[in-house]
Amino acid sequence: MKSLPQISISEQLAEQFARSIPAIPQSMQTLCDSLLIDTVGLCVSARHQDYLQATIRASIEPGNCSLIGHSERVNVASACLVNGTAIHGEDFDDTYEGGPIHAGAVIVPAILAASEQHQLSGADILSGISVGSELMCRMCTVAPKLVHKAGFHPTAVFGAIAAAAGVATALRLNQQQWVNALGIAGSMASGIIEYLAEGTWTKRMHPGWAAQSGYRAARLAQEGFTGPRTLFEGEHGFFHGFANKDDCDFTKMMAGLGEVWVSADMAFKPFACGTMAHPFIDCALELMKQGLDVDAIEKIECNTAEGILHRLWEPLSQKQNPPNGYAAKFSIPYAIAVAMIRGDAGLNDYQEEVVHDPRITTISNKISYIVDPNNPYPNQFTGHIRVTLKDGSIREHAQGFFRGGRDAPMSIDALEKKFIANCIYGGWSESHAVQSLAVLRGLRTKQVVDLAVLRSA
C-alpha cells in the first residue's frame, strides 16, 4: 500500500488557487467573457434539436435557474444537464490544445446555475470559471492520451472534478471543503466513448452530467461531507481508475500554478465538428482556393497522428460513410469531403440530408491516412492533405496549427459574429442576440447576476 503524502495534490491546489483568486489576470477575464459568449450562443443554437428536447423532457424539474433559450425556471441539476448538453451538442464549443477537452460546456453551466441558486456576484462567476477551467486544462498534462485509450471521455471525467473546483471556488468554500469537493467528485466522474460506434448521443450529455456532479460534490462538501484528499495520487485514485496509470508525475500540472494561467490559451472553434478535423478542413479549403478540381481526384492521403485514429479515422470504411450527422462530426474523411464540396463545415453541413450527399461520399471514399510518428499531437493539432489527380499530378497542403487556437486565435469580433449567427440559427432575432451579447459582456462585473434576457423562447 502506498504511503500517504503529508500534503496532497488537492491540498496544494486549494492553497495555490486561494492565493491567486484576488489577482486574476486580464487574460482570464477576457477568457471568461469569451466562454460566456460562446457557450450561450451554442445553447441557443441547439434549443430545438431533438436530443436537447429529449433531455428537457426527461430532466426538467422546477427551481430558480435558467434554461438558456427557454422560458422555464428549473433546479440546479436540470440547468446544468440541459445547458451543458446544449453547449456540447453540436461539437462547436471551445477546446484546449494539449487535451483535447471542452471546459466551457462543463464549467459555465455549473457556475451559472450556482450563481442563480445562491445569488452570487459577477466576481464569483469570474473566479469559478477561472479556477474550473484552469484545473481542467492542467489535468490534461498528467496522462496525455491515456484517458481516451482507456475508453473514457476526458471532458466528462475531468469535468466533474473541475466543476467541483469551480463551484467550490464560486461558493467561497474553505480549503478543507474545497479539497473534499474534489474528492467527492472523483466518485461521480463518468463517461465512456462507445458513442463512437454508431454516432449515438451520449457524448452530448457528458458535460452537463459533469456540471451537475461538480455542483453536487461542492454542496456536499459545504455541508460537511468528506472525500479523499488523495484523489489524484492515491493508490486507487483518479488516474489509476481512468487512465490505468500509477505513479503519475504531477510536475507539469502544478508548474507555475497561480502565476501562469494555461487556460487563457483556450481555443474557439470555427467549424462544428471534432477539434482535430479542423486543420484538415483548412487544408481542403486552401486546395479548393488554389483551383483543385474535385472531379479530377484519383485519391487523397493524409499524414496524421496515431493518437486520433480510433476517434476520427477508424474504422475507415465507417468514417468514409458516416451513418448520421453526429457520427460525421468525428470523421476526418467526411470533414475534408464536405469542405471540398460545400466550402464549409458549419452547423448546416452536418444535417442528415447533407451527410448522405453522393457528391460528398464519392470524395470521402477516396481518402485514407498515413501515421506520422513525429506528429506533435496532443500538444499541437495539425492537418495535411496530399491529392493525387487522375493525370498523376500531385496537389498538397499542410497546416501546423489549429485555427482558433493559440497560434491563430479567434478575435473577439469573430467570436461575437459566431454568437450572433448561432442565435439566429436557433431562432432568435438579431436584435435579441445583440441585447443578450451586451448582458454577457458585462456579466462578470455585476453585483447581482440577472439572466432573464437569456431565457427568452
Adjacent-strand bridge partners of 258: none
Q: How far apart are CA 319 and CA 243, in angstroms?
A: 26
Q: What is the pLDDT of residues 164-212, one digit of tens each?
A: 999 999 999 999 999 999 999 999 999 999 999 999 999 999 999 999 9
Annotated domain spans of the chain:
9-269+418-455, 275-399
Residue 1 has pLDDT above 80, yes or no: no
- The predicted pLDDT at position 360 comes to 98
Write out 303-369 in H/E/C secondary structure. Answer: EECHHHHHHHCCCHHHHHCCCCHHHHCCCHHHHHHHHHHHCCCCHHHHCHHHHCCHHHHHHHCCEEE
Nearest Cα residue to 120 out of 453, 446, 454: 446
Q: Quick one: pLDDT band at residue 2, thresholds 50, 70, 90? A: confident
If residue 387 lies in a helix (H) or strand (E), which one and from where to where?
strand 383-389
Torsion of the alpha carbons at 354, 356, 357 and 358, rounded to the nearest 10? 170
Eight-class DSSP state of 376: -
Residue 216 has pLDDT above 90, yes or no: yes
**Residue 287 CA neighbour count, 13 Å, CB half:** 30
The amino acid sitting at 445 is: T
Q: Map residue 443 onto helix, strand or coil.
A: helix
Residue 100 has pLDDT above 90, yes or no: no
Architecture in CATH of 9-269+418-455: Orthogonal Bundle (1.10)
Cβ within 8 Å of residue 359, ≥6 positions away: 341
Q: Quick one: pLDDT band at residue 218, thresholds 50, 70, 90? A: very high
Adjacent-strand bridge partners of 388: 299, 394
Q: How far apart are CA 254 and CA 388, in angstroms?
A: 47
Eight-class DSSP state of 23: G
Q: How far apart are CA 441 and CA 173, in angstroms?
A: 27
338: cell is 464536405
Q: Quick one: pLDDT band at residue 99, thresholds 50, 70, 90? A: confident
Residue 313 has pLDDT above 90, yes or no: yes
Say if strands 73-74 and 367-371 run parallel, antiparallel, or are unpaired.
unpaired
Q: Map residue 197 onto helix, strand or coil.
A: helix
432: cell is 435579441
CB 65, CB 299: distance < 8 Å: no
Q: How far apart are CA 391 and CA 389, in angstroms?
A: 5
Adjacent-strand bridge partners of 367: 300
Q: What is the pLDDT of residues 19-31, one digit of tens each?
A: 999 999 999 999 9
Q: Quick one: pLDDT band at residue 3, thresholds 50, 70, 90? A: confident
Residue % of the chain over a pLDDT of 90: 96
Q: At residue 46, what are phi and psi to the nearest 5 degrees? A: -95, 0
Residue 457 has pLDDT above 70, yes or no: no
CB 213, CB 88: distance < 8 Å: no
Q: How far apart are CA 271 and CA 140, in angstroms?
A: 23
Considering the domain 275-399 in this protein, what is its CATH number? 3.30.1330.120
**Residue 203 CA neighbour count, 13 Å, CB half:** 27
Q: What is the pLDDT of residues 412-444, one digit of tens each?
A: 999 999 999 999 999 999 999 999 999 999 999
Q: How far apart are CA 194 and CA 452, in angstroms?
A: 37
Say if strands 73-74 and 383-389 run parallel, antiparallel, or are unpaired.
unpaired
> In the predicted model, what is the mean pLDDT of residues 313-318?
97
Q: How far apart are CA 424 and CA 426, in angstroms?
A: 5
Q: How far apart are CA 382 and CA 400, in angstroms?
A: 5
Residue 379 has pLDDT above 90, yes or no: no
Tell whether pTM > 0.85.
Answer: yes
Nearest Cα residue to 405 out of 234, 278, 241: 278
74: cell is 428549473
CB 43, CB 83: distance < 8 Å: yes
Adjacent-strand bridge partners of 307: none
Separation in Å, CA 410 to CA 84, 312, 343, 417 = 22, 24, 19, 11
Nearest Cα residue to 135 out of 77, 181, 83, 176: 181
Q: Map residue 260 onto helix, strand or coil.
A: coil
CB 184, CB 227: distance < 8 Å: yes
